[in-house]
Structures are given as structure tokens and as C-alpha cells.
Amino acid sequence: MLAAETLSKRFPGAAAPAVDRLNLKVAPGELFALLGPNGAGKTTTINCFLGFVPADSGRVTVDGLDVASEPLETKRRLAYIPEQVNLYDFLSGLENLDYFSQLAGHRYSKPELRRLLTEAGLQPEAHERRVRGYSKGMRQKVGIAIALAKRAKALLLDEPTSGLDPSASHEFSQVLHRLRAQNVAILMATHDLFRAREDANRVGIMRQGRLVHILSAAELRQTDLEKLYLEAMAG
Amino acid sequence: MRPSLDLLCWETRRLFRTGTATVALGLLAFGGLVALWSADREIARHREEIARLPDFYAAQMQRLAGQFADGGHAGYVAYYAFFPTWDPPPALAGLSVGLRDLLPAAVWVRLLGLEAQLYESGLGNPGLQSLGPFDLAFVVCALAPLVLLLLTHDLLTRDRERGVLPLAHVQSGGLGRLFAARLLVRAGAVAAVCTGLFVIAVSWHRIPMDGAALAWLGDALLHLLVWTAFAAVVAAACGSTGASLAAAGTVWLGAVVVLPAALNLGLTAAFPVPEGLELTVRQRQETHAGWDRPKEETFARFFAAYPEWRDTPPVTGRFAWKWYYALQHGGDAAVAASARTYAANLRARAAAAERLAWLVPPVGAQLLLSRRAGTDLEAHLEFLERVRAFHEALKHYFHPLIFAEAELKPAAWSAFPRYQPPAPAGSAGSWLERLPLAAAALGPSLAALVLVRRTSALPS
Amino acid sequence: MSPFRSIARTEWQLLVRRRSYGVLLGAFSVVLAFATGLGVLRQDRELQQQRRYQALVREQWVGQPDRHPHRVAHYGTFAFKPVGPLAAFDPGVESFSGRVQFLEAHRQNAANFAEAGALSSAFRLGELSPAFVVHLLLPLVVIVLGYRILADDREAGRLRLLLAQGTPPGALLAGKAAGLALGLAPFATTAAIALAASVVLGPGAEGAAAWIRGGLVAAAAGLHLAGWLTLTLWASARAATPVRALGGLVTLWAAVGIVLPRTAGAIAATQPPLPGKSEFAAQLAAEVHRLGDAHNPGDPVFARLRRETLARHGVDRVEDLPVNYGAIVMARGEELTAEAFARHFSAVTEQMERQEAVVHRAAWFAPYLAVRALSAAASGTDLRALTAFQRAAEAYRFSFVQALNALHRDKIRFTNDRAQRLAASHWAAFPDFHVRGPALTESLAGTAGCWAALAAWLLAPLVGLWRTGVRP
């Protein structure tokens, strides 16, 4: 569903490429966790899938469509949750969800919107309140609802659980499980080794723009992920 | 609150590290130079016109000499002879043009009724005049405050937003000192640019560095002090750069653009001066009605003002020059009260403006600066008084000749009175005049002090 | 609902839900209402005063006793500059020009009593007319309401989310622009009401032409504001943070609204400088003297006039003429003076127009100058309207003085000329001074450059937006 083929990207003025000949495939129903330190190229990779950053060389495809030539079509098949979900403070959670869904071309009734928010874990009494007063976790949940509402075939997550408390983090992984069951392909950049190990089918470790390790689910169960990660960083 | 020298040096370096400050101060300096040039051109126009007055007068007299080669009645010659009076631009006029670009630099008068000759507009392009003059006073009153606010509004908010404020707070040993140092450096930079422009102007326009010039600079800096206090309030009171920028913009827009213009409009509506028109129409009516009136009446009015001619022989014929000038005097005398009301109303309007000016510091400062420079309304009204005095001198010269029915040959014309303007001088003014502006600085200063104290007490 | 519509709607909601929105709208309306009210009041007062004096002056003219016609020519009359059709909205140069001119024989007096000359020097910062509020302050409102429109989304990271939803960038920009425009609609409506009020209540406006003029002012202002709206959108799309967008836009506003106009004015004043008033008068006097000197018996112009007049009537002495020769000399002199004056006056007005052209060229850099010029032209209060009045006043002066000279020639005997009088019944036959303001087409002649400058200020940011696109 998501595929990068020898993807490279170097930002102007940078000494080293941000992404270096990266090959990556995420199948429907699969969750691929991308690990790596800050600056390893995780976010750039996600930006390439979103079409926000044009690739220098290589190809990025979503559902077989080239991101560079079909920027709008590919976005239609993607949902995205950033690390920090920022919404319109002066609109309620419900209005934000409604607005972002309309932009994606979906029209939901109010009960449907409420159901989506509840499904994302937002307590019903918060639905009509302005986002201004929301906690980070609550905003994140609206972000999840926006992603759910899009009914996308693939989901891009950029450190979605950073800063969330453990129970919110747990709820989030429940949602991810459900989405996987609906055959959504998920690419998740994260620092959270624990969640990666729990939720992912496969884990990739990035360093200086390159995927240095890919572990399958079976391998994951047998390895000490932290040790492997630290070894990878040491080079 | 007292910042150390080290802190000041450090903040100065920090200020010029950012491009914004350099660009803003550079633009202010550039605008100032354009303003100096523009005002210099305007004032030079006046000087050139005044310098050529003797030539114009000589050319006129030469023409008349052709007409009166064989001599002519003193009254007849006086009918044609216009005499220049002029208001030489004071030394500081190139700093604040004031009303000089709107009003004539020279007024030509002849022995006829004066009131019809006094109020002509100068020859200017109203399309350009409506754009407003560009002089150093404008730079100090309008542009410098803008630059000052742009440089200072985010003294604290930017650091707060970047999260460095707690660190800076702890490191500098008190927010108050940090705040004071930053404010001082920025206000100092703006004041330095303005002072630099003043120094350039002084050497460029060859302005003598006397009390008036120093007082002008002092008033300009006092105005900047008011704005420094405003800026301190804005910087201390606002929580975010967005808010401080909005507050700074609002304060500037209100004080420099909206309020002065509103005040102007309000005062124009509150103090109409229709006497101008009234006076011209009445004077014409009076003067011409005299032709259809018994001559004794005209003379009676004339003798009331000039009793020395009371015992001269009466006019029996249809026309005599002494009667003609008595008639002209009658026209002036009939509207003397209107003329006084006109000037008084103008002065009342100016006084009302001055009373309100301390509410709007840029207005107060503009008034003060143009008064220092001797280019305000009062200066013009005083010039008109001098023109009146000269007209009186013309009468004293010509009346004996006219009453003697003298014939004047061109050779005798060199004895005609000439206008002698007093040496133009700006005034250093009194401390009392500056009180409103100083008061305007005090209020916000105190407010800023309290706000900074409170901010310092809170964890940021 | 299409993305465009939901973006526009949401953007509008966000705008009007801000606390500052109501405050801004309130403040704007109050300032504009104040300016309009006093503008109407002032022009109305001006018109009343003019009407009163015009009636008085006419009454005085008609009520003159039996007089010698040349006495009447010196008695003269007054011409009042009519209040421009939309002067209540945009007074243009009206405050800076005298509005009453004394008309008499032999002399072309300058207009007297310019409002601005009677002002205190503190107020050269600007005249608070409705036009000033709409042309100079409303763009600032556009900036304040609009600077965050994209920059805020970018800074907060929402723009990534918006784009990731698959919103076409074009729809996003258009939607944001439409939302901002919707938010500005109440301001524009207020401005339109002020303009309409000036048309309805303003003393100078009459008939359908005034509405067309109002429409032109509205078109110029709309184009100008559309330019600022696009510019704001562009700055917001480009700037790293909203505060930077605001800082940049406000600096630009101050530069093109305050500094550049004055700089342009200062430069224009030297292109080339106008002669001083004394110089103008001296040159005119010298020219009149050169053309013909009635006082000089040997002057060729008047010698020929004498020869021809005597020949036409077949007599040898002026005393034998059936007409008054003194009046003929006077009429010829008046002709020469008027001709010389017309030439010199044209030279000065042409010079003023050249200076104005420099300002109009500067409008390419400062759209405020363009909208200002268009607004004053459409309001009938620009320099052109002023010179049109001055020319009309001079033409009227010339015609009544020559009519009086004709009466003098035909009805007053040459001998003992000055002792004679003409019956008072003659005076009422003279028409009163009436000048119509410039026709619409005249007002608009030569404004194409300003329209083009405004269009360029709309196009430039559009091209910029198209090139920049929306960066996340």
C-alpha cells in the first residue's frame, strides 16, 4: 500500500542526505514502526509520503500511485496524525472534526461525528467544548477521529504517543489494532520502543537517513529491541 | 532597575545582531535625510523668492518710470506702486516647515485698502500640499515613534515565547534590570538617529547652534521620551508578540494618525472662521459705497484716525486723490473689528489645539517644534501684524505728499519706504510650554514601572 | 459542501469569533461615522456660506446705484468654487485651495482663504475624511484581520493536517481569501454606507452622475482593498510566523501609505519647482507691459488701435468718434492682460500637472497614491476640478469686464467721461457666476495610469501566490 523505492532527499545546504536510498513497503493491515534518533530522517520520510517534500530521486507511491504526479489522489488515500495535533481553538472538537472531514470530501451527520469522536476515545461531554481548553491527549483523540473519518487506506503517524500518559497511549494502540483489522496500512515514526514492540508487525531502525535494520514480527519477539537499537546507533 | 554597563553593551550587540533593527533604523535615517532635503528645498524656494524681491521691485519701478516720466501725482503713483513685504524663513524652518509651505513668503501691498491684500494664498500646488510636508519634525513626531515601537514591543514577549525568559531572568539578576537595559538601548538608538539627523541638518542648513536650536532638539527628544514610556507600557503589559505588536500598532495609529486628524476635524467644526469672507465682502461694499456718499462723511471717518489732516481744504471736485485714499481707509476701518475677530478666532482655534495637545503627544510635539522654529500660525499672524505696520508707514509717508497734491518724479521715488523685517529668530521658549509633554511622559512611565515590577514578581 | 465553501465558511467563523473582531468593527464604524458626519456637516456649512454670500454678492451687484461702468468693473464680484460632487466623502485638495476669488477689472486675484492656511501647524499629519479612513485605514484592517490566515496554520502545524486531508491548494487559498473577504464584508458595507450617505446627504452631489461617481470611488477602493487582501494572503503564505507577516505588512503599509506619498510629493515639488508668487506676478506684469502699454502714447499696439479706430469711423480725432475711445483702449488692454495671464496661468497649471504626474508615476510603488488620485478625481475635488474653476472664474471675469467696457464704449461720452453714470437698471442684466463642476468624462481623463497601478497591485501578489503556492 505504501512504498518507497530508493528514496533520497538532501535539503539544500545540508552536509548529509536526510533520507538516503530508502526502500520500504507497508502492506494493507500491516503496522510498520520506524525507529531512530532525532534527525534520522523519519519525519522526512513521512513528509515524502505526504508530498510535502519532493524526493530528489527514487519513487514514493501510495496504493500504486506516484505521490509526485498524483499529489491530491494519493492524499485522498492517506490519513495523517502529527505529533502535536493542532486544531482551531475557537471551534469545538466536533466542529473541527466536521471541518477536516469536509475538506477530505466526507459529509457526516452529527451522530456519526459523535460516534467517531467516541470511537477515538474522546469523552462525550467534551465534544461540544471549544478545543482551546483541551489537553494534549484530547486533541490527539480528535486527530485520531479525523483520521478515522477519512476512511483512508493508509495511515501515517509521526510520534503519535509522545507526551501521552500511559493509559491514553494504551487506548491509542487499541485504535491502531482496530484499524489494522480493517486492513489499513500504517507507517508510524516513534521513539517509543515499548509501543513499537507491542503494536508493530515490523520495525525499521533508521540512522542518518538509512534503514539499518528491519525486524519482522517473529524476530521482534526474540530480540532485545533496546539493545539492538543502541548497537545500531553506536554504528 | 539600574542596568550595569556590561548589560547595556551586551544588549546593544544583541540589538544589531538582528537584521530588523538595522533595517528599521536605516530606514528611519534614510527617511530623515529625504525629509531634510525636502524641507530644505521648500525653504530654499522661499529664500530665493525673497532674494529676488528687490529685482522685482526695481523692474516695477522702472516700468512706472516710463509711465510717469514727467512725474505724476503722489496719489496716482502710489496707486500703481506695490511694495514687497516678506517673512524671512527662520533658521530652524528647515527642521519644521510648519505652515510655511501653505502661506506666502512675500505679500505685496500698496496704499489701497489693506484688508483686501492680506489674505491671498501662496502659489503652491494644492495636490502636493495635501500630501503633507516631509520634514524632520514629521520624522520625529510620526516615524521615530513607529520605529521605536517596532523595536521595543517584544522586549519580553519574544523571549517569553521562546522560553528563554526564565533563564534570562535568573541570569541577569532581575527582570527589571534586563527590561531597563533593553529599553534604554533601543530608545537610545532611535534618539541617536534623530540627534544625528539634527546634527546633519545643523551643518547642512547652516543653523546657528543657539538656544532655540538646542531647545528644538530638546523638545524632539522629550517627545521620544514620551514614546519610550508608551513603549515600556506596551512591552510590559502584553503577553505575546502578537498582542504587543497589535497594541503597539494601535497606540501608534491612534496617536499619530487617527486622533490628530480627528482633533483637526473637530476643531475646524468647532471654531469656524467665516469672518474671512465676511471681511472681504464688507470691505469692498464700504469702499465702493463711498463713491456714492457725500465726501464729508468719508473725510470725517478718516480724520478720526488721522486728525493731523483735519484742517486741510475740503474737496470740491468730483475726484481727488486724498479723498480716494480716505475712502480706502474707510473700507479698512469698517472691517477692523472683523479682522480682529478673524485673527482672534484663528488664535482661539490654535489655543484650543494646544490645550488638547497634551492628550495626543505627537500633536503637542508638532506644535512645540513649529513654534521653536517660528513657522507656526502665530508666527504668520505676527508677520501680518508687521505688514499692517508697514502699511501704516506707507500712509505716513504718502499722506503728506498726497495732501500737498505733490507731483513726484521718478528721481524722488528712491525715498519711498522699504519694508525692514526683524531678524528672524526661533525661541527657546519656557519650561511651562513643555509641561504637558513632560506630563504625558510621566504617566506611562509610572505605569510601566508598576507593570515591570509585577511581571518580575511572577514566574514567567 | 466543496472544500472551498467549507474553508471559506470556517475561516469566516474563526474571524468573527475573535474578540478583537467586534472591537475593530466598532472602532472602524465609529471613526468612519464621525468622519462622514463631520464631512457632510463641513461641506454643508461651506455650501450654506457660499449660497448666503453668493446671494448677498448678487444682491449687492444688482443693487448698485447709478454708476460709471468702470467703477462697476472695479467694484467687481466674487466667484465661489462649487462644492465638489462628493466633497463630503473625499475633500481632495479643497482644504488646500482658496474657495473664493475676487473678480475685478485689470487684475487676476488669487483665491483667498484656504482652509489649511488657517489651521494650526500641528495637523499636517492628515485630514480625517471618510476617504482617508477607507483608503488608508481600511487596508490596515485587512492586514490585522488577515495576517494570520495561513501563517497561523503553518506555525501551529495545522496546515500539514489541512493539506494531508487532500485539500487542493488552490481551493485552500481561494477559500481562505473568500473567508477573509466575508469577514471584511461588514467593514466594506460600512464604508459603502458612508459613501452612499455622502452621495445622499453631501451638499455637492446631484442626480445620477453623483451615484456614478460614487460607484467609481467604490470601484477604486474595492480594487485597492482587493490588492491588500491578496497581498496579505501572500505575506501570510510566505512568512515564517504570523508576527513576521504582520510586521512586514505593517511596515509596507507605513512605507506606501505614509512615507512614500510624502517623498513623492517632495520629489514632485522639484520637477520643476513652481515659481514664487512674486515671480509669477513680476513676469506677468513684464509681459503685459511688453504686449502693449496703454499709458505710453508711442506704444505700437495702441497707436495702431487708434489709427484703425479713427479710420473705421472716418474721423481724425478721438473726440469726434461716435463711441468712447477710452473704453476701447481699456477693452484692448483687458484683452492683452487676459491673454498674458492665460498664458502664464496655463504654464503654472501645466507645471502643477507635471508635478502631479510625478506623483501618479509614484503610484506604481504606492497604491494609496493611486486610489487617492482616483477617489479625488471621481469626487470632483482634485487639482483638475480646481483649475477648471479658476479658468471658469477668469472667463467670467473677462466677459463681465468686457461687457462693462462695451457699455462704457457705447453709453458714456468721451468728454468728461468720469463724471457720467449709467442707470442702475443695467446691472441686473449681467448673468450671475455659475460654474458646473467638471463633467464625469473630464474628471476621469488621464486616470488610466492610476487604474493600471491599482490593477498591478492586485496582480503582483496574485502572481506571487501562484508561484509560492502553499508551503506546509
Which DSSP string corresponds to C69-98?
Answer: HHHHHHH-EEEEPPPPTTTTT--TTGGGS-
SS (H, E, C) B204-223: HCCCCCCHHHHHHHHHHHHH
- Selecting from C96, C281, C419 the residue whose C-beta is nearest the C-beta of B129 gives C96
Instruction: Phi first, then psi: give them for residue C418, nearest 5 degrees.
Output: -65, -20
**Mean pLDDT, rounded, for C431-439:** 84
Supply angle C-alpha B133, B141, B127, rounded to 5.
20
3-state secondary structure of A153: coil
pLDDT of residue B5: 78
Residue C325 C-alpha cell reads as 475711445
Question: Can you give the C-alpha Rg of chain C in angstroms?
Answer: 30
DSSP assignment letter at C202: -
User: Which of the two residues, C272 and C25, has the higher pLDDT score?
Assistant: C25
Supply angle C-alpha C227, C229, C231, rounded to 5.
70
Instruction: Tell me the residue type at C465.
Output: L
CA distance C229 to chain A (A): 22
- Selecting from C157, C160, C168 the residue whose C-beta is nearest the C-beta of A72 gives C168
The interface predicted TM-score (ipTM) is 0.88
**Per residue of chain B (460 residues), what is the pLDDT tens digit?**
566 777 788 778 877 777 778 888 998 999 999 999 999 998 999 999 999 999 999 999 999 998 888 889 999 999 999 999 999 999 899 999 888 888 888 999 999 999 888 887 778 888 888 888 889 999 999 899 999 998 888 887 777 777 777 776 666 666 777 788 888 899 999 999 999 999 999 998 888 888 888 999 999 999 999 999 989 888 888 878 778 888 888 888 888 888 888 888 788 778 877 677 888 888 888 888 888 888 888 999 999 999 998 888 888 888 899 999 999 999 999 888 888 888 888 888 888 888 887 788 888 888 889 888 888 888 889 999 999 999 999 999 999 999 999 999 999 999 999 999 987 666 667 777 777 778 777 887 888 777 777 766 554 4
Tell whether C34 lies on the interface with B, counting CB pairs under 8 A: yes
Q: Is residue C61 scored above 60 in pLDDT? A: yes
**Sign of torsion, CA A47 A50 A53 A57?**
positive
Residue B282 C-alpha cell reads as 464688507
Nearest to C131 by CA among C92, C96, C94, C185: C92
Q: For residues C250 and C248, what is the distance between their CA atoms, to the nearest angstrom?
A: 6
Q: H/E element holding A78?
A: strand A78-81
Q: How far lies A59's CA from each of A7, B128, C469, in Å?
A: 6, 62, 23
User: Which of the two residues, C62 and B427, has the higher pLDDT score?
Assistant: C62
Helix pair angle (C277-291, C325-362), 10° resolution: 140
Q: For residues C297 and B273, what is the distance between their CA atoms, to the nearest angstrom?
A: 48
| Contact across the interface for B132 and C275, Cβ inside 8 Å | no
Which residue has 472716418 as its cell numbers?
C314
Dump pLDDT digits (tens) for C67-110: 999 999 999 999 988 888 899 999 888 888 878 888 988 888 87
- Selecting from C42, C78, C266 the residue whose C-beta is nearest the C-beta of B281 gives C78
Q: Residues near B35 by Cβ (< 8 Å), separated by ≥ 6?
A: B134, B135, B136, B138, B139, B197, C262, C266
Dump pLDDT digits (tens) for C219-252: 999 999 999 999 999 999 998 888 888 888 988 9
CA distance C152 to chain A (A): 10
pLDDT of residue B2: 62
- Selecting from C157, C164, C165 the residue whose C-beta is nearest the C-beta of A84 gives C157
- Selecting from C6, C17, C163 the residue whose C-beta is nearest the C-beta of A102 gives C6
In chain A, what are the domains? 33-234 (3.40.50.300)
Tell whether B273 lies on the interface with C, counting CB pairs under 8 A: yes
Count Cα atoms within 13 angstroms, Cβ side, for C230.
Answer: 20
Residue B21 C-alpha cell reads as 533593527
Q: H/E element holding A4?
A: strand A2-9
Chains that touch A (3 or more CB pairs under 8 A): C
Chain C residues touching residue B241 (CB < 8 angstroms): 243
Supply angle C-alpha A116, A42, A55, rounded to 5.
100
Residues linked to residue A109 through DSSP beta bridges, in sequence order: none
Count Cα atoms within 13 angstroms, Cβ side, for B71.
Answer: 9
CA distance B298 to chain C (A): 18
Among chain B residues, CA nearest to C144:
B246
Dump pLDDT digits (tens) for C131-157: 999 999 999 999 999 998 999 898 888
Instruction: Phi first, then psi: give them for residue A41, nearest 5 degrees.
Output: 110, 10
| Contact across the interface for B123 and C280, Cβ inside 8 Å | yes
Contact C213, C86 (CB under 8 A): yes
Q: For residues B53 and B106, what is the distance between their CA atoms, to the nearest angstrom?
A: 8
Instruction: Tell me the residue type at A158.
Output: D
Measure CA of the first residue to CA of the last residue in chain B; give whole Å: 18
pLDDT of residue B460: 42
Instruction: Phi first, then psi: give them for residue B64, nearest 5 degrees.
Output: -65, -35
Contact B57, B108 (CB under 8 A): no
Strands A185-189 and A31-35: parallel
Q: Residues near C410 by Cβ (< 8 Å), separated by ≥ 6?
A: C323, C324
CA distance B277 to chain C (A): 8
Tell whether B364 lies on the interface with C, counting CB pairs under 8 A: yes
Q: For residues B88 and B66, what is the distance between their CA atoms, to the nearest angstrom?
A: 31
CA distance C401 to chain B (A): 17
Q: For residues C275 and C458, what is the distance between their CA atoms, to the nearest angstrom?
A: 39
Phi-psi region of C157 (alpha: psi -120 to 50; beta: other; left: phi over 0): left
Strands A31-35 and A202-207: parallel
Chain A residues touching residue C165 (CB < 8 angstroms): 75, 100, 103-104, 146, 150
DSSP assignment letter at C108: B
Question: Which residues of chain A are modeled with pLDDT < 50?
Answer: none
SS (H, E, C) chain B: CCCCHHHHHHHHHHHHHCHHHHHHHHHHHHHHHHHHHHHHHHHHHHHHHHHHHHHHHHHHHHHHHHHCCCCEEHHHHHHHCCEEEECCCCHHHHCCCCCCCCCCCEEEECCCCCHHHHCECCCCCHHHHCCCCCCHHHHHHHHHHHHHHHHHCCCCHHHHHHCCHHHHHHHHCCHHHHHHHHHHHHHHHHHHHHHHHHHHHHHHCCCCCCHHHHHHHHHHHHHHHHHHHHHHHHHHHCCCHHHHHHHHHHHHHHHHHHHHHHHHHHHHHHCCCCHHHHHHHHHHHHHHHHHHCCHHHHHHHHHHHCHHHCCCCCCCCCCCHHHHHHHHHHHHHHCHHHHHHHHHHHHHHHHHHHHHHCCCHHHHHHHHHHHHHCCCHHHHHHHHHHHHHHHHHHHHHHHHHHHCCCEECHHHHHHCCCCCCCCCCCCCCCHHHHHHHHHHHHHHHHHHHHHHHHHHHCCC
Instruction: Tell me the residue type at A102.
Output: Q
- What are the sequence ranges of the domains in chain C? 1-472
- Selecting from B59, B104, B246 the residue whose C-beta is nearest the C-beta of C277 gives B104
| Contact across the interface for C156 and A50, Cβ inside 8 Å | no
Q: Give the range among B91-95, B334-338, C203-207, C322-326 with minimum mean pLDDT.
A: C203-207
Residues of C (55-114) whose Cβ lies below 8 Å from B? 56-57, 60, 65, 67, 71, 74-76, 78, 92-93, 95-98, 100, 102, 109-114
